[in-house]
Amino acid sequence: MADEQDKNELAEDRTDWAEDRTLMANERTFAGWMRTGLAAVGIGLGFNALFGKLEPAWVAKAIATLFIAIGVFVFWSAQRNASAVQKRMDSHDAAPIRTSNMKLIAAAMAFASLCLAAGIWAIDLRQ
């Protein structure tokens, strides 16, 4: 009887550890998607820098803004999906990032990216 109880406790421990590993994997996935969003924003900024003198001028700005908008969507989607996973899981020994912090990080990145897009439209690179 004691042997069966020990096996059940070990199984519960393994399940708890697996859940903690899943929470940590969720954070790594969130970070990966945030990097992907930053890459999209960087591509937009780089496109505008390389082709800023393209005529008409709004074409380069529009393409850059499109990439920045894709980055903002990636930020929003990443926090939405990561928060959903986080809410479904229970932490045991791990200390996962709070969902409010994920939302704050994504919101800050989106705000900064939108400011960058506004700056692209406000600046004149043809001088």
Length of the chain: 127
d(CA 109, CA 72): 8
In the chain, pLDDT over 70 holds for what percent of residues?
83
Q: Which residue has the tokens 């969130």?
A: 30
**pLDDT given at position 57:** 84
- Per-residue pLDDT tens digits for 11-69: 676 776 677 788 888 899 999 999 999 999 999 999 988 887 888 888 999 999 999 99
d(CA 59, CA 126): 14
Question: 8-12, 13-17, 113-117 — which one is most confidently predicted on average?
Answer: 113-117
d(CA 60, CA 35): 23
Average pLDDT of the chain to the nearest whole number: 86
Q: Which residue has the tokens 């082709």?
A: 51
Q: Which residue has the tokens 């990443």?
A: 78
| Whole-structure pTM value | 0.81
Closest CA to 29 of 84, 107, 104, 90: 84
